[in-house]
Amino acid sequence: MALRGVLRLGEVAIRVLDMAEARQHYGDRMGLHEVMEDAKGQVYYKAWDEHDHHSIVLRQTDRAGMDYFAFKVFDDATLDSLEKRIKAFGLAVEHIDAGVYPKSGRRIQCVLPSGHTMQLYAHKEQIGNSLGYRNPGTTPDEGVIRGFRINRLDHALLGGINIDENAKFFTEVLDFNMSEKLIDHDSGATLVVFLSCSIKPHDIAFVLQPEANKFHHVSFLLESAHDVIKAADMIGKYRIPVDVGPNRHGITRGATIYYYDPSGNRNEVFAEGYIYYPDTPTIVWDTSELGNAVFAQDNVVRASFLEVLT
């Protein structure tokens, strides 16, 4: 397979206000698998079809939001190469020794022009998806897939300043491609950028905000749009606060529902969308079609979706 370099979004660290409520939400309701609690009380989760030890980290504090996000890269040589390119771009790089983050090899960390903390790592302990690696079959034992039936961590949308500079960093340094962007119809100013390192419409996105280092949402992949509806049934059953009911994005063409964890952090369950290849020209939307770009089934832009970030 040709995919090398940066592989995928591998980890998002979320701040929560009450760990007991967060555990019920992410574990009991959403159906992520809790894999450990560390000595600091941080709790680690994975989706059933992820092989790495964890992809979500929860930390209890007095302010909701995101501590950092991390991408997994192909190998240590890739990590070394990207460190040189990050420094050449003008960003300071911090080294994090193996084992500082549980089950993880060494990492490098930098602060993006948007104010977000990003880490890169090549190694994390793999514990599998319960199917095994020889004659695995197609379906795990009963109870492994539960809750919202989440397959894996998919992407994150982050809010901040200097998102054009972020886009330059991801495309020129990390070899991402800009799959889509939203611009202001009158001024042409960039409002949102969607960046892919894979065949997905986006692996990370940034929305322009007046404040640096804001968290819009973390998204989890489901099997189908039907599963999005079934997840919405459970969201209603458990009275989980909803931001946007089942809909479809014009941008990315993904089926979606947005809802909040008990701390006010926005989550998304997401399915479908198109297959992206690097030779596809960037799709440009402008604010004259904002409703269709954001929520194509009813063409209604919710104020909360634009204004609520943690």
Is 25 part of the annotated catalytic residue set? no
Is 249 part of the annotated catalytic residue set? yes
Quote the CA–CA distance of 121 and 108 in Å, as a whole number: 7
The active-site residue out of 25, 54, 116, 155 is 155
The active-site residue out of 54, 217, 259, 260 is 217
Is 155 part of the annotated catalytic residue set? yes
The active-site residue out of 25, 53, 116, 202 is 202
Task: Give SS3 for 208.
Answer: strand
Q: What is the Cα Rg of the chain in Å?
A: 19
DSSP for 32-54, please give it. PEEEEE-TT--EEEE-TT--BS-
Pairing of strands 43-46, 254-260: unpaired
Is 95 part of the annotated catalytic residue set? no
The active-site residue out of 11, 180, 268, 272 is 268
The active-site residue out of 25, 33, 216, 249 is 249
Cα 50 to chain centroid, rounded: 14
Is 26 part of the annotated catalytic residue set? no
Q: CB neighbours of 268 closer than 8 A, spacing ≥ 6?
A: 217, 218, 219, 220, 256, 257, 258, 259
Determine contact, residues 263/17, Cβ cutoff 8 Å: yes
- Of 285, 247, 291, give the one whose Cα is nearest residue 269: 247
Catalytic positions are 155, 202, 217, 249, 258, 268
